């Protein structure tokens, strides 16, 4: 469904071009989950945003490659075509609910806007909103309709953001570190919920994280990014069992085990000597 081939993106700074993606290739099948794992600055978000051309250009420069989605190259389609894809067919959730939720509108009006824009089949909008808030695990959703984002906890805001993204019934959800800001228990609840909804909707998910520990059991395939390149790709269980690239070994070595509070990420130099 999604096939990124040899994507190259750089950022212009004065006279120089700093490469951010140096030929990234990724595949994602219908209804599947791909985890993209890598340390901060490795190019995960640039990849995510590039898929629907959300990077401001300048400074971003698309230097080459293609992004095939449902049979068309998103790097070549018109802006009008792209607007139909964004939100409707490809939806995003981010680490910060504030990037998606607008503080001056109620939960109801933000979800309604999404549904009106992307769903022609919904007659009773409030009922649909309540159904989605319930689906993402918000208790007593009818009473929350007129709340504003600041009246909800971080975890609840994250759930509303997921409800908003999914209410358009996208074919692909790109989740960029969706739970990084939350504590571990809430993270797990939200990721479990996301997986349940994914199954119901038959939606594909690109789950971006710097944390290898959370993807086990969530993503069938994993791509490991390092300095703008995919250095390892494979089935998650296989990669966790037998990582080939030194950087993947380093990432796996720092998955915390029970009673183990190491936080430092081993550097690639310390592994390769």
CB of residue 44 to ligand ADP, shortest distance in Å = 3
- Token duo for residue 144: 């929350």
Query: Which residue in the set 33, 42, 45, 52 belongs to the binding site for Mg ion (CB under 5 A)?
Result: 45
Q: Which is nearer to ligand ADP, 44 or 86 (CB)?
A: 44
Tell me how far apart the alpha carbons of residues 23 and 5 are, in angstroms, rounded to a whole number. Answer: 7
Rule CB under 6 A: which residues touch ligand ADP?
Answer: 11, 20, 38, 40-46, 59
3-state helix, strand, coil in the chain (%, to 5): 35, 25, 35
CA-to-CA distance for 130 and 120, rounded, in angstroms?
18
What is the C-alpha separation between 149 and 162, in angstroms, rounded?
A: 13
The interface region with Mg ion, picked from 44-52, 100-108, 146-154, 190-198 by CB under 5 A, is 44-52
Residue nearer to Mg ion on the CB measure, 112 or 165: 165
Q: Tell me the residue number closest to ligand ADP, measured at CB.
A: 45
Report what 11 binds from ligand ADP, Mg ion, none; CB cut-off 5-8 Å by kind.
ligand ADP
DSSP state of 256: P
Tell me which of Mg ion, ligand ADP, none is bound by residue 64, counting a contact when its beta carbon lies within the kind-specific cut-off of 5 to 8 angstroms.
none
- Residue 243 CB, shortest distance to ligand ADP, in Å, is 19
Report how far apart, in Å, the C-alpha atoms of 103 and of each of 13, 70, 78, 98, 144 are. 33, 34, 31, 8, 15
Using CB positions, name the residue nearest to Mg ion: 45
Binding site for Mg ion (CB under 5 A): 44-45
């Amino acid at each position: 469904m999604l096939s990124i081939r040899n994507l190259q993106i750089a950022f212009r700074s004065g006279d120089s071009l700093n490469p951010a993606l140096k030929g990234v290739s990724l595949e994602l099948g219908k209804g599947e989950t791909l985890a993209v794992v890598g340390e901060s600055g490795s190019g995960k978000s640039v990849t995510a945003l590039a898929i629907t051309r959300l990077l401001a250009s300048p400074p971003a420069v698309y230097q080459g490659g293609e992004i095939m989605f449902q049979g068309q190259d998103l790097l070549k389609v018109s802006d009008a075509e792209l607007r139909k894809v964004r939100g409707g067919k490809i939806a995003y959730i981010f680490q910060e609910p504030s990037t998606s939720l607008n503080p001056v509108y109620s939960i109801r009006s933000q979800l309604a806007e999404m549904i009106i824009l992307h769903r022609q089949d919904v007659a009773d909008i409030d009922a649909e909103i309540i159904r989605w808030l319930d689906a993402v695990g918000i208790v007593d959703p009818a009473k929350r309709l007129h709340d504003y984002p600041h009246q909800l906890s971080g975890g609840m805001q994250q759930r509303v953001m997921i409800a908003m993204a999914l209410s358009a019934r996208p074919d692909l959800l790109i989740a960029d570190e969706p739970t990084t800001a939350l504590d571990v228990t809430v993270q797990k609840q939200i990721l479990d919920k996301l997986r349940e909804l994914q199954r119901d909707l038959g939606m594909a998910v690109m789950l971006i994280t710097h944390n290898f520990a959370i993807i086990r059991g969530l993503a069938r395939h994993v791509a490991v990014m390092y300095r703008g390149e995919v250095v390892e790709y494979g089935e998650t269980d296989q990669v966790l069992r037998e990582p080939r690239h030194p950087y993947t070994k380093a990432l796996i070595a720092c998955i915390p085990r029970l009673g183990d509070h190491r936080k430092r990420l081993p550097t690639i130099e310390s592994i390769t000597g």
